[in-house]
């Protein structure tokens, strides 16, 4: 089946998914969570993905003693996947069951809501939520909203015949594309077309198991990278309503330029509203003076 046919099929499921009520979403989230827990023995090494992560990080060189870091990476890779699936989906279950009236327990996120008055002399205030753990040791986050009376533009760019989100997969960590899929499906209720990063084709076997409930319902399709021409063709499809990517600013700008060309009727703000990007970590590095091997 061609990418165009797959996209047409995904688009035909868009309206069905976007109309899911809170009860439907709770059922879907529970199906994902049960699938994740019951099939750990399958997804833990599906397609030998953890060994391929080690190879990708170049922690093992042929005919040399394996690095002592290897067991850590094997464990860490699985932990990152587990934390993403367990914490994210459990939070969604809690939220949707509360919204649907199936549970009287207030979601933890809403339990930790605070109203903070601005310190600019005005009567404006803003809300904060958290801090909450993200499931990874020593890692938490807090959400700050916009101040009250703050205007924010909202653009609806979904097509009438169904809208698809394309995710251009991340290359730096195995759990990032998984998080992106869960975000666009379980929060935004969008059908997703995932193109895996060329550095991580081995994740397709892992994701096929983890995301089976979405795939079986026709809400998700994933492919391996086939080069820039094929990606351009995918992004030019008439039903593309959103593109999310992890990469460089240059790629982000290229995606926006392409959308402007294939959808000339859209304003620049509408094009900008169609694209979300995670442009990589900005972690400072300090190098101490000393002797380093070529590999280091």
Structure tokens at 104: 């009287």
The burial of 17, by beta-carbon neighbours within 10 Å (0-12 exposed, 13-18 middle, 19 or more buried), is given as buried
Tell me if 152 is assigned to some domain. Answer: no
Domain identity same for 189 and 79: yes
Domain identity same for 74 and 194: yes
Helix H or strand E segment including 278 = strand 275-278
Tell me if 287 is assigned to some domain. Answer: no
Enclosing domain of residue 251? 3-97+157-279
Tell me if 139 is assigned to some domain. Answer: yes
Number of domains in the chain: 2
Checking if the pLDDT of 146 tops 80, the result is no
List of long-range contacts for 121-129, beta carbons under 8 Å, 24+ apart: 124/148, 124/149, 124/150
Residues 184-228: pLDDT tens digits? 999 999 999 999 999 999 999 999 999 999 999 999 999 999 999
Checking if the pLDDT of 97 tops 90, the result is yes
Q: Which of 74-78, 180-184, 215-219, 245-249 has the lowest mean pLDDT?
A: 74-78
Domain identity same for 221 and 241: yes
pTM assigned to the model: 0.82
* Cα 32 from Cα 86, distance rounded (Å): 10
Domain identity same for 264 and 121: no
Domain identity same for 84 and 111: no
Tell me if 293 is assigned to some domain. Answer: no
Tell me if 241 is assigned to some domain. Answer: yes
Q: Which of 42-46, 161-165, 241-245 has the lowest mean pLDDT?
A: 161-165
DSSP string, 5-31: HHHHHHHHHHHHHHT--HHHHHHHHHH
Domain identity same for 89 and 128: no
What band does 70 get if pLDDT is binned at 50, 70 and 90? low
Average pLDDT over residues 243-247: 91
Domain identity same for 117 and 261: no
Domain identity same for 183 and 89: yes
Percentage of the residues of the chain whose pLDDT score is greater than 70? 85
Checking if the pLDDT of 183 tops 90, the result is yes
Structure tokens at 214: 């979405």
C-alpha closest to that of 210 among 170, 181, 183: 181
Percentage of the residues of the chain whose pLDDT score is greater than 90? 55
Checking if the pLDDT of 53 tops 80, the result is yes
User: Residue 158's pLDDT is what?
Assistant: 47
Domain identity same for 74 and 165: yes
CATH number at residue 230: 3.40.605.10
Domain identity same for 133 and 242: no
* Cα 48 from Cα 244, distance rounded (Å): 27
Checking if the pLDDT of 286 tops 90, the result is no
Average pLDDT over residues 8-15: 95
User: Residue 293's pLDDT is what?
Assistant: 84
DSSP 3-state of 240 = strand
Average pLDDT over residues 156-179: 80
Neighbours of 171 (CB within 10 A): 18
User: Residue 138's pLDDT is what?
Assistant: 75
Domain identity same for 275 and 229: yes
Structure tokens at 218: 């026709």
Q: Which residues pair with 132 in a beta bridge?
A: 141
Tell me if 284 is assigned to some domain. Answer: no
Domain identity same for 129 and 265: no
Average pLDDT, the chain: 86
């Amino acid at each position: 089946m061609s990418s165009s046919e797959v996209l047409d099929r995904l688009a035909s499921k868009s309206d069905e998914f976007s109309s899911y009520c809170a009860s439907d979403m709770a059922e879907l989230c529970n199906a994902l969570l049960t699938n994740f827990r019951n099939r750990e023995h399958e997804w833990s090494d599906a397609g030998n993905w953890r060994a391929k992560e080690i190879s990708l990080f170049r922690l093992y060189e042929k005919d040399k003693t394996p690095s002592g870091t290897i067991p850590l990476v094997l464990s860490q890779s699985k932990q990152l996947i587990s934390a993403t699936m367990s914490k994210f989906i459990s939070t969604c279950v809690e939220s949707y069951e509360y919204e649907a009236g199936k549970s009287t327990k207030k979601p933890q996120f809403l339990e930790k809501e605070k109203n903070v008055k601005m310190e600019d002399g005005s009567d404006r205030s803003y809300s904060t939520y958290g801090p909450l753990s993200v499931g990874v040791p020593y890692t938490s986050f807090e959400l700050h909203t916009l101040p009250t009376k703050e205007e924010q533009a909202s653009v609806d760019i979904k097509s009438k015949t169904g809208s698809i989100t394309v995710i251009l997969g991340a290359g730096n960590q195995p759990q990032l594309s998984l998080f992106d899929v869960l975000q666009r499906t379980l929060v935004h209720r969008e059908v997703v077309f995932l193109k895996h990063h060329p550095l991580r084709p081995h994740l397709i076997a892992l994701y096929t198991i983890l995301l089976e409930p979405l795939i079986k319902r026709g809400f998700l399709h994933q492919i391996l990278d086939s080069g820039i021409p094929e990606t351009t063709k995918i992004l030019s499809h008439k039903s593309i309503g959103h593109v999310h990517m992890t990469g460089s600013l240059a790629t982000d700008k290229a995606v926006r330029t392409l959308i402007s060309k294939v959808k000339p009727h859209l304003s620049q703000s509408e094009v900008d509203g169609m694209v979300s990007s995670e442009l990589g970590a900005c972690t400072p590095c300090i190098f101490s003076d000393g002797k380093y091997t070529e590999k280091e």
